[in-house]
Amino acid sequence: MNLLTALQDGRHDSHDALRIDGTALSREQLLGAAGAVAARVAGAKAFAVVARPDARTVAAVVGGLLAGVPVVPVPPDAGPVERAHILRDSGAELLAGGDGESGPAEVPVDLAERHDFAGPEPAPERPAFVLYTSGTTGPPKGALLSRAAVAADLDALAEAWGWTSEDTLVHGLPLFHVHGLVLGVLGALRHGSRLVHTGRPTPAAYAEAAGSLYFGVPTVWSRVVAEESAARALAGSRLLVSGSAPLPVPVFERLAALTGRAPIERYGMTETLITVSTRWDGERRPGSVGLPVAGVATRLVGEDGEPVPADGESVGELQVSGPTLFDGYLNRPDADAEVRTADGWFRTGDVATLGPDGFHRIVGRASVDLIKSGGFKIGAGEVEAALRDHPAVADAAVVGAPDPDLGQAVVAFVIPDGPVTGDQLTAFVAERLSVHKRPRRVVLVDELPRNAMGKVLKKRLLEG
């Protein structure tokens, strides 16, 4: 199965088929540079790539995929503890984009290099990626995504969004997770659309790109509508897609008013890829993520395990099934068991409603411990563990507080055990974890509210 269809058959090539943070490449140039990487990494157990938003990252990722080696994207802002965990847990033998620190052997990436890699086409069931995702407790888990799952999802999205080689895709999203990398890079390389990655997703950069298809998270779209001239410049686009967190209804409405384009909303997870979306040729309803994409089935299940009626009001846990699902967590059969039902469906942990017309509305998280901030998913337990490592912290609880810009802001409630300030604790976390996981606010308290079993009552923290 050819995962990178348009890249490898040379369709619709041009000198700037890909423009990434100002660097222009033809598909032929990308394929040559990636081929050189593939020759160096072929046969490795796993290949880690520090996923900065630049052309070398794309060449490294494509090189790993050409060679059939699982690619392990590493957040460029990951702290030493997080990075060490990802490299160790994934078994990565090689690394691109490192800074010379000890660890896997460094693989050079030269955009001027050309190599016609002639290795066999990897089997569809081979892992394409090991993507690390934060859970509610402990360090991130590596989700195994097969080449077949990635291809199935990208093809389903092409059908749902009318995505063709005539499009110019624009986004500035990070290249270490599904939205920015799988959809935002591999989608273009599979379907033949021109790609403009803006480096950072600023309103000005989006306005200048003159694309037909735009990807953004709610934080991006809220900033776009705050600059009316930038928003109005998107009026020539065909489709505006929002994901990774719910799009606030006022932002939806403002974006539609300024651009003349009601945005598309979609829903997915690292473990499932994108499973539900509104369509390019269908209704776009504020607060709704629409219908299952081709090949995917969904269901709502109540706490009693019984089906929830599709009445648009009854709430249940959203469960999904289909060819886009991951193959499990690397080395974590215990975690796999927690998210699989007896009949093989994936438990998302999100609660939703389902209307008689099949439209899905995501109501919230079954747990308060997974925070969605600025398009990122952050496990509260991981941040709490980092805070507790500080010598002046007796205990900590982390929650996601509503935020008009980020969706949710990471807020830490800390019981100090010595002199310490909120700024010091924020810096302490940012040095150990990805910078986006740092608390936006630290509240020093004498105690944390707990139930009779000693569990912290996080909803009470949010209410207070």
HEC profile of 152-170: HHHHHHHHHHCCCCCCEEE
Confidence of residue 265 (pLDDT cuts 50, 70, 90): very high
55: pLDDT strictly greater than 70: yes
What confidence tens digit (pLDDT) does each residue in 345-387 have? Answer: 999 998 888 999 999 988 766 667 778 899 887 878 778 888 9
Query: Comparing 221-225, 265-269, 304-308, which segment has the lowest mean pLDDT?
Result: 304-308
The pLDDT of 301-329, averaged and rounded, is 92
Q: Report the alpha-carbon distance of residue 402 to residue 374 in Å, rounded.
A: 11
Instruction: List Cα–Cα distances, 145 to 129, 223, 336, in angstroms.
Output: 5, 32, 14
The pLDDT of 180-209, averaged and rounded, is 97
Please give the structure tokens belonging to residue 342. 């007896």
**What was the pLDDT predicted at 362?**
86
Please give the structure tokens belonging to residue 79. 């702290």
For residue 326, give the nearest of 82, 152, 120, 160 by alpha carbon: 152
**What was the pLDDT predicted at 136?**
54
Which sign does the torsion angle of CA 240, 245, 246, 250 carry? Answer: negative
Q: Report the alpha-carbon distance of residue 367 to residue 463 in Å, rounded.
A: 16
Strands of 105-106's sheet in order across: 105-106, 94-96, 47-50, 71-74, 127-133, 141-146
Q: Report the alpha-carbon distance of residue 251 to residue 196 in Å, rounded.
A: 24
What confidence tens digit (pLDDT) does each residue in 113-122 have? Answer: 999 999 899 9
Write down the mean pLDDT value for the chain: 92
What confidence tens digit (pLDDT) does each residue in 223-261 have? Answer: 999 999 999 999 999 999 999 888 888 889 999 999 999
**Residue bearing tokens 């934060």:** 134
Q: Report the alpha-carbon distance of residue 369 to residue 398 in Å, rounded.
A: 8
Confidence of residue 125 (pLDDT cuts 50, 70, 90): very high
Contact between residue 11 and residue 2 where contact means Cβ atoms under 8 Å apart: no
Contact between residue 186 and residue 150 where contact means Cβ atoms under 8 Å apart: yes
Domains of the chain: 5-200 (3.40.50.12780), 264-365 (2.30.38.10), 370-463 (3.30.300.30)
Q: Which helix (H) or strand (E) holds 444?
A: strand 441-444
Q: Report the alpha-carbon distance of residue 318 to residue 336 in Å, rounded.
A: 17
Q: Which helix (H) or strand (E) holds 64?
A: helix 55-67
Secondary structure E strands in 226-330: 239-242, 264-269, 273-277, 291-292, 297-301, 316-321
453: pLDDT strictly greater than 50: no
**What was the pLDDT predicted at 451?**
66
Contact between residue 279 and residue 298 where contact means Cβ atoms under 8 Å apart: no
Phi and psi for 30 in degrees, rounded to 5?
-60, -45
135: pLDDT strictly greater than 80: no
Q: Report the alpha-carbon distance of residue 382 to residue 401 in Å, rounded.
A: 17
Secondary structure E strands in 32-167: 47-50, 71-74, 94-96, 105-106, 127-133, 141-146
Query: Comparing 17-31, 71-85, 300-314, 442-456, which segment has the lowest mean pLDDT?
Result: 442-456
First and final C-alpha spacing in the chain = 54
**What was the pLDDT predicted at 138?**
73
Which sign does the torsion angle of CA 344, 348, 352, 356 carry? Answer: negative
Which sign does the torsion angle of CA 249, 253, 256, 259 carry? Answer: negative
For residue 180, give the nearest of 413, 390, 374 by alpha carbon: 374
**What was the pLDDT predicted at 330?**
97
Which sign does the torsion angle of CA 1, 333, 322, 137 carry? Answer: negative
Whole-structure pTM value? 0.84
The pLDDT of 108-114, averaged and rounded, is 97
**What was the pLDDT predicted at 395?**
86
**What was the pLDDT predicted at 452?**
46
